[in-house]
Structure 1
Amino acid sequence: MMEESPVETETLIRTLRLTSAEPTDVEVKAASGGCPRSLRETLSVFSNAGGGTILLGLTDSDFTALDVDADALRTALAGMAANDVTPPARGSIEIELFEGRRIVRMDVIEMDPVEKPCYVTAQGRYSGSYIRTADGDRRLSHYEIDRLLENRTQPEFDREVVAEASVEDLDPGLIAAYLDRITQARPRGFAGLDQAAVMNRLGLTATRGGAPHPTLAALLTFGAYPQQFFPQLNITVVALPTPRMGDPAPNGERFLDNITCDGPIGTMLSDAIAGVTRNMTRAAVIEGTGRVDRYEYPLEVVRELLVNAVMHRDYSPGARGSQIQVELYPDRLVVRSPGGFYGLVDPADFGDPAVSSSRNALLARILADTPLGGRGEMLAENRGSGIPTVLRTLHRAGRVPPEFHADLRRVEVTVPHHALLTPEVVGWIDSLGQDLSQAQIQTLALLYSGKAVRNQTLQGWGIHAADATRELTDLVRRGLVVKVGDRRGASYLLADTAAETQRLLALTARQRAILNFLTPGMDVAVGDLIEPLGVGRATVTNDLNALIEAGLVVASAPPRSKNRTYRRTNSKPGKATP
């Protein structure tokens, strides 16, 4: 797994104090009585998802350093990581000096997918594997653990024989077209074989009880009606009138359209794409000498997301009760499929042409040689080109890139319904007074919208890795962005955003309390802060002046005015502070 440079301890603790909370990848323990046994679960959590940092010797309320036996804690934590979880948790363990006291820090490294799950040895794999959520640590379900174990081998659920079905349950026309294409393209592999033998060699059938039966991949692709055997292996399309599922429109309707797409994969895809298309708005655009209908979402994006979901979803028995769900909201398109990412797939690397992994190898191969309708194109390319195509298409259309959210149970792709280069963004970029390339303009617009940017982001637009590095390096040289991290883990921030983060970290605890008390758009006077803070007027005034100096607070009147009030700034990069 990719490792990023850890945040310095002093900066990390200042951030904890600033937010008054622990993020999901940080665990703080006072450890006054020794190394807590609960850290076994924490080691499992961090090893299973994203890694994390353990800090021992700090209070978990205000993160104040305590007097602890740091040497004993380091020894105990190292022993716990080596002996109390399986496989052993890895990471650096150091004693560091913070505010005059010695504390212990361990940076736990996320395990390689083929080693997961990491579990508390005494509790066993299916009872002692943990993951962290917004609500705290929880045990992984059997289904989730099975998905992790799946990464150690090539899953073969798509090769599973459907004993209840027979060859007669396959559509003769679909099978004939597929076999004709395969035997003509690769005649040497099938010379002298009859149709039954060819189907067996291709993995479409297998013999059970003396009779041939279709495999799951064959039934899904060529079955006359696969849902006879697997009712939920289909696609549903829902068009909604409001941005939240379940909220009715003013006249009471909860759905604008609700479609269930059954049949073989080709039919399901065609019906799902048609369902999404008829519920999208479109506008006529003149291109060259002709008129073109342009939809809310490029049809190529819709198609690739659906094909990707069908090809890579989980087909294990535990997921066969779940369908692929497509939801069209007024502000976004969502495609959701069962099962998390398979293999060494990280959404942060999407755009890198080397990122590809097939959970269903047989199905992927079949779809690559199965025509979609009568248009001559295949259902899928099986070249890892689906997501890069989505990224490039949205980039060319000037749209915000998709958001990927995944856990071990599902993958959810969201395509926002808004342009990247809005008039506000274009105005801000113009105000910079820089001669920028189109790639740099798109990069700045993406950062302005709050999205992350890495080298792989530009690669997803079709830019070569070396050219992407050159474009980003030039933005750093111009002082417009700041590089964070190095190598493959490097990401980029707007310079103004990075500077504001540093200003926040430099505040005292009382100044942070004042900032948290203020909300954008609310004016307060010095007298409003004296009682909550428990300090005098001069102290509050000095802290407010420091916040003004940092650009985080503005005053409504000159320093000696009796009507002087204060307001927290709420500005975006490049915009004037109110």
Structure 2
Amino acid sequence: MALDPSSLSTQELVDHVRRVGGEPSTVELKAAAGGLPKSTSETISAFANARGGTILLGLDDLAQPVDIDADGLRDALAGMASDKMQPPVRAEVEIDVVDGDRRVVRMDVSEARMEDKPVYVAARGQYGGSFARGGDGDRRLTGYEVNRLVENRTQPTHDRCIVSEATPDDLDPDLIRPYLERLRLTNPRTFSALEDDQALRSTGVLREHGGTLAPTLAGLLTFGHHPQQFLPQLFISVVVHPGTEVGELSPRGERFLDNRQIDGPVPVMAAEAMNTITRHMARAAVMRDGQRTERFEYPLEVVRELIANALMHRDYSPESVGAQVQVELFPDRLVVRSPGGVYGPVDPQEFGAPDVSSSRNALLAKMLSETRLPGSQFMVAENRGSGIPTIMRALSAAGMAPPTFAVDLRKVEVTVPHHALLNHEVLGWIRSLGHEGLTDAQVQALALLHEGTPVRNQTLQGWGLHPADATRELTDLVRRGAAEKVGDRRHATYRLAMTEPSPPQPTLNLTFDNAPRTGGQLDAQKPGADARQQEILRLLAQNGEMSAKQLTDSVEVGYRATLNAINDLIRVGKVEGTAPPRSRNRAYRLAGREDPDPDGDD
């Protein structure tokens, strides 16, 4: 989560930059010893087009003060914001003091209103002077990104456009028939007396074009025999990777364990994509109240909602119809990626909270909410803003970590990590805090804080809590001394209090059957699993360090099953990796065993 500099004093902000050794994405330092740099206008544009940020003049790259004409810079910066930007940026510019007596100029740029974006440098024009914040500073927005910002001012209508080459015969009667039956059943006053063509026209499936009827994009995508005949790139790709890094090969030299391009209308694509992912998911055996139940390693409703949301809310503008929805399954995560950023006044940090939704493709969303997934009792989508909250609640109920969202103007990428949030190590740590009477929501919030994830009021709302209850739960954690609040009001976040006890040793209680993938904790009662882990421990004790491939060859089971056992042993503290998880040089050894050759000498 990006730092909110508006919640910090100038001295606190400077101290933070010095402590982390660099500028956060929401802070820009400029020495400005020779006057106001022209590039400052680019930073104003970038902050206004994103979530805002703070400009500090009079500090070098190391956040050390330099001599400046503070009064002159203050006037020049205020003039640039009001006179050189379109629309003008109204922000308070003030002179502050750091390190006791060094003057700096501070400007807090707020995020612009949706109807005012993009904010751009007037002299360069909208397409040449609009900027966004990048990893290494400010970058100019592409024409595509500018168009998406402009489009966000109104309701897009790309899904209402006619596909002129298509005809009503390109619609599938087996999909149209139940759709019309449902309309006539649920709204007989409107549809019972209408002929099929009239009903399809009134719902936007068909529109008049040159004196005849033709399918709209939404109609073709929902009910077409083969929409890719006219829009060949609007498919969904599903890739199952053998390793945690794209391009990593399995011991057999396979780059992919599955790689499919799924065509058809959206209901068919969603169902087949979900079936493909399900075939490659292991089943977890979970003990609840003394009863053994089974579930997939990712809750099925999470997979369904992610895929349906991506297909329903993606960008269908002419600039984006050459891009696909992508689903990737790795041993350690599930990733769903769709073209186009978030539409409308939606803050990605509030995903999961009630009433946080906006539909880019309103007509398509309406049709999908009236259409069932093939072979299922579920509609493709509910169209009530319930998708992300459903995902949050399902993962919470399964004891899994929440998804992360990477959102910009070009894409939305959702990543669901494959690990238990409330494993025994974390639960043991929470017990060691000594806080009696913690609620379930507080336990889950502490688990997130323990792994370094900041928590907001909206996080708990995503689990089903009322906003007032969420605030009360988090305030109580602060009162107990378990958490600290940073910032105020809408941007308030909570982080772990600075002191925390050492966690106790974990116990084992969860396994994945037929596990081709990395799983959760181990179940010593599971036939074959414990023997495999014991063999890995024996091999590492005998040989020191071994790669995953070497262990696979020695244990004589599949690579994914071996990797699953290795990761389970890592989670319970018996084995450790010798390099970061995605490093090609990663090997494994018994936990606590020191490197016999730390300097790399033979």
TM-score by length of 2: 0.80
Provide the secondary structure at the position in 1 that maps to 2:48: helix
Q: State the match for 1:423 in structure 2.
A: 424
Q: State the match for 2:456 in structure 1.
A: 454
Q: State the match for 2:407 in structure 1.
A: 406
Quick check: 2:339–2:411 contact (8 Å CA) kept in 1? Answer: yes
Provide the secondary structure at the position in 2 that maps to 1:241: coil
Aligned length: 496
- Structure 2: segments with no counterpart, 5+ residues: 501-602
Taking the aligned partners of 1:444 and 1:252, their CA distance within structure 2 comes to: 42
Q: State the match for 1:250 in structure 2.
A: 251
Deviation readout 1:141-195 (Å, 9 max, x if unpaired) = 1111111111100000000100010000000121121112112211222354322
Q: State the match for 1:313 in structure 2.
A: 314
1:283, distance to aligned residue in structure 2 (A) = 3.4
Taking the aligned partners of 1:359 and 1:71, their CA distance within structure 2 comes to: 46
Q: State the match for 1:92 in structure 2.
A: 92
Amino acid corresponding to residue 102 of structure 2 in structure 1: R
Taking the aligned partners of 2:41 and 2:72, their CA distance within structure 1 comes to: 17
1:386, distance to aligned residue in structure 2 (A) = 0.5
Shifted more, 66-75 versus 267-276: the winner is 66-75
Deviation readout 1:233-289 (Å, 9 max, x if unpaired) = 111111111000011122211111111211111111111010000011113457799
Q: Relative to 1, partners in 2 of residues 1:9 and 1:351: Cα closer, same or farther, differing over 3 Å? A: same
- Say if 2:23 is the partner of 1:22: yes
Provide the secondary structure at the position in 2 that maps to 1:34: coil
Taking the aligned partners of 1:289 and 1:6, their CA distance within structure 2 comes to: 47
Q: State the match for 1:76 in structure 2.
A: 76
Amino acid corresponding to residue 76 of structure 1 in structure 2: A
Deviation readout 1:352-395 (Å, 9 max, x if unpaired) = 21101000000011111112224333211110001000000000
1:443, distance to aligned residue in structure 2 (A) = 0.9
Q: State the match for 2:153 in structure 1.
A: 152
Q: State the match for 1:523 in structure 2.
A: none
Question: In angstroms, what is the RMSD of aligned CA positions?
Answer: 1.9
Correspondences of 1:10-409 after superposition (within 5 Å) = 10-58=11-59, 60-98=60-98, 99-190=100-191, 192-285=193-286, 292-409=293-410
Q: State the match for 1:7 in structure 2.
A: 8
Q: Relative to 1, partners in 2 of residues 1:61 and 1:403: Cα closer, same or farther, differing over 3 Å? A: closer
Taking the aligned partners of 2:24 and 2:485, their CA distance within structure 1 comes to: 23
Shifted more, 208-217 versus 417-426: the winner is 417-426
- Structure 1: segments with no counterpart, 5+ residues: 499-578
Taking the aligned partners of 1:290 and 1:221, their CA distance within structure 2 comes to: 42
Percent of aligned positions that are identical: 58
1:433, distance to aligned residue in structure 2 (A) = 1.5
Provide the secondary structure at the position in 1 that maps to 2:475: helix
Q: State the match for 2:564 in structure 1.
A: none
Taking the aligned partners of 1:10 and 1:291, their CA distance within structure 2 comes to: 55
Provide the secondary structure at the position in 1 that maps to 2:92: strand
Quick check: 1:4–1:489 contact (8 Å CA) kept in 2? Answer: no
Q: State the match for 1:569 in structure 2.
A: none
Q: State the match for 2:517 in structure 1.
A: none
Taking the aligned partners of 1:162 and 1:341, their CA distance within structure 2 comes to: 25
Taking the aligned partners of 1:243 and 1:354, their CA distance within structure 2 comes to: 35
Q: Relative to 1, partners in 2 of residues 1:374 and 1:247: Cα closer, same or farther, differing over 3 Å? A: closer
Quick check: 2:5–2:54 contact (8 Å CA) kept in 1? Answer: no
Deviation readout 1:23-56 (Å, 9 max, x if unpaired) = 2222222222221211111111111112111111
1:468, distance to aligned residue in structure 2 (A) = 1.5
Amino acid corresponding to residue 387 of structure 1 in structure 2: I
Q: State the match for 2:477 in structure 1.
A: 475
Taking the aligned partners of 2:258 and 2:375, their CA distance within structure 1 comes to: 27
Provide the secondary structure at the position in 2 that maps to 1:496: coil
1:309, distance to aligned residue in structure 2 (A) = 0.6
1:21, distance to aligned residue in structure 2 (A) = 2.1
Q: Relative to 1, partners in 2 of residues 1:289 and 1:457: Cα closer, same or farther, differing over 3 Å? A: closer
- Say if 2:498 is the partner of 1:496: yes
Quick check: 1:3–1:109 contact (8 Å CA) kept in 2? Answer: no
Deviation readout 1:329-354 (Å, 9 max, x if unpaired) = 00000000000000111121122211
Amino acid corresponding to residue 71 of structure 1 in structure 2: D
Quick check: 2:81–2:90 contact (8 Å CA) kept in 1? Answer: yes
Taking the aligned partners of 2:489 and 2:57, their CA distance within structure 1 comes to: 30
1:17, distance to aligned residue in structure 2 (A) = 2.3
Amino acid corresponding to residue 109 of structure 1 in structure 2: S
